[in-house]
Amino acid sequence: MASCYFLTSTLGIFLSLWISIINAEFYVIDDQIGLGRRFDGIGGLSGGGATSRLLVNYDEPYRGQILDYLFKPDFGASLQILKVEIGGDAQTTDGTEPSHMHYEGDENYFRGYEWWLMKEAKKRNPDITLIGLPWAFPRWVGKEQSSPYHNPDVTAGYVVSWVIGAKQYHNLNIDYVGIWNERKFDAEYIKILRRTLDKAGLTDVGIIAADGNWDISVAMALDPQLYGAIDIIGVHYPGTTTIPQALWTRKTLWSSEDYSTFNHNDVGGGCWARILNQNYVNGRMTSTISWNLVASYYEDLSFGRDGLMTAEEPWSGNYVVESPIWITAHTTQFAKPGWRYLETVGNLTHGGSYVSLTDGKGNLTVVIETMTHDHSICVRPPLPPYKVFPQNATFHLKGSFATVSELQLWYSKFDFANSKSTLFKKLQTVKVFDGFFTLSLGVDEVYTLTTITTGQKGHYTDPPNSSPFPKKYLDDFDVRNPSFDEAPNFADQTGVFEYFQNLTDPGAHVFTLRQIVTQRPIAWANDADQTISIVGDHSWRDLTVTCDVLIETVNTGGVFIAARVDKGGESVRKAMGVFFWVFANGTYRVTNDIDGKMVRAEGLSGTRAGKWYTLTLTVKGQYAYGMLDGYPLWKNAVILNPKNGWAAIGTYSFEYAQFDNFQVLAD
């Protein structure tokens, strides 16, 4: 009887299987008909700009936990590529990142936080690919011109010095460098950069070009030297498609910046799931890099919460592991760089896509996505309409996979109706019968089927609850040996503000914060004509800002403190607020704009360069008041707008100036 029952049961299983196959669309997974392109990994981009600014300010263990979710293999996103900005002292989206060479002859390979971030990533994943790309350049690189191509040998030397510094001071091997983010490329410069790298013994450092559109591939077809200089064609926001000329080059193709979508409503996760598959299916791009890595900047700056996860509250320790982390894991935990895509990849009959990858040693990973149009719209480019329907899909494993008997199954389901999404959940193993298995696919789902058994959904206890920026905040900048050059929570929007040891002052102002950029950089975004660093809570309305200031430029210099600053990032030139200025010519001014044209009060202050002063600015309702060294200087300036914004410090132009004993008291 037992044998009869087993036979009947087995026949029932096979009967159910064949019924499901008959009612399903059919797809073959086969490595015998040839392999596709090499899989190069999934990555994140820190920079473009200052997108990881607040991350370094987190206390442990939270900072380490965030880094684990990003980089630790088989834990979270398990990122395989880290791309960073080569700082150029200019505004590049959400702030400025400092250059390793502010001026000719200056070299400091400890400025900023990208060195630290690359080391932390490498500590967790020694095999991670590292990339550097400039967005902006110090003015001297262009020999006072507004283009880095004016003196290409100087620019190439500048970039190569960054690569050498990474190795010499941080033991970091940079794998690739880029040209000039999203700006017109110069073929002669690219060839000079290749020669300069080779001359420095950096023949293993590849060049990615041109981090914009596909035009570089057309130019490569006409210029054999240019073709030979470029290792990877990198394009931004390609909409999952490639032009024929790029394919004809037979070069490696990457979506070297993509995503850039709000992460908190799961549409960002849907966008990411769709393009991770379809960038290869439709465009044969073998790597996709997210802008940005982690949303670790003030949310009211440009593109708030556009990272793979969110870490914007170092003062509370709160962070949020968003859905793109787990969508990334669907690929990165089960396919490593060096694996190969199979030729058997494609679009599903009723919407969605699938890719299949192998390590060439018998392991197989299949990733399926069924994201609907409205739930996977990326910020760019526009997404043409399409439909996705529930469907049955039968897969036939052939070639070296014909003997596979079971596959691990990881599953995500976006629930936009009830906000109860399932993310990266391990389900029951899928049995493979005679090379066949069938799945019933819903919409807005992601599946990974794999022979790899090491995947896991890493987890830490919940971080502290979210809380606003402290209403009482002070910083005396008395840091003798700082780990980072930037003061915590200050976010430079034009210029660069660094810790400074003032050896000429034996008194109360030995350790200060100093603005050190004295020439307008070769810009990427629209820097202000003034320098400015913001801090605090964008919702602040009534507050008092106090700071000691030192003008260093005789006659023409000036500094300000500010409240209710409403804009930063790429809109910093249009920033409104309450700006209290004092100048080296003995005057003061109160303006409603950073450009200093909307004057609300002005007069004599007696201020001059080389002497410390204490400025106090109070804004309450529609009135503002100002004090100099504790004495009223002006009062009852009418401020109707803006109603709220950050506190800030800054200078009248690109000039040296120092700040000390900063304090905010907000109501």
Per-residue CA distances from 149 to 193, 521, 656 (Å): 11, 14, 28
Longest dimension (CA), the chain: 106
Q: Which two tokens stand for residue 47?
A: 């920079």
> Exposed/middle/buried for 265, CB within 10 Å: 0-12, 13-18, 19+?
middle
Q: How many CB atoms lie within 10 A of CB 524?
A: 23
Q: Which two tokens stand for residue 369?
A: 């996505």
Closest among 494, 481, 512 to 565, alpha carbons compared: 494
Q: Which of 182, 299, 343, 602 is catalytic?
A: 182
One-letter amino acid of 287: S
- Residues 6 or more apart in contact with residue 276 via CB below 8 angstroms: 42, 288, 327, 328, 330, 331, 367, 369
Contact between 508 and 467 under an 8 Å Cβ cutoff? The reply is no
Alpha-carbon Rg of the chain, whole angstroms?
A: 28
Contact between 444 and 481 under an 8 Å Cβ cutoff? The reply is no
Q: Is 114 a known active-site residue?
A: no
One-letter amino acid of 434: D
Contact between 323 and 414 under an 8 Å Cβ cutoff? The reply is yes
Kind plus residue range of the DSSP H or E element containing 248: helix 244-248
One-letter amino acid of 556: T
SS3 399: helix
Contact between 590 and 599 under an 8 Å Cβ cutoff? The reply is yes
Q: Which of 114, 120, 257, 322 is catalytic?
A: 257
Q: Is 257 a known active-site residue?
A: yes
Q: Which two tokens stand for residue 208?
A: 């990615």
Kind plus residue range of the DSSP H or E element containing 45: strand 41-46
Q: What span, in angstroms and rounded, lies between the C-alpha atoms of 303 and 535? A: 18
DSSP 321-364: --HHHHHHHHHHTT--BTBEEES--EE-TTS-EEEEEE-SSS-E
Long-range pairs of 335-339 with CB within 8 A, sequence gap ≥ 24: 335/39, 335/359, 335/365, 336/39, 336/41, 336/80, 336/127, 337/38, 337/39, 337/40, 337/41, 337/80, 337/127, 337/129, 338/38, 338/39, 339/38, 339/39, 339/365
Closest among 581, 580, 634, 586 to 610, alpha carbons compared: 586
SS3 538: coil
Contact between 498 and 512 under an 8 Å Cβ cutoff? The reply is no
Closest among 83, 177, 92 to 121, alpha carbons compared: 83
Residues with a known catalytic role: 182, 257
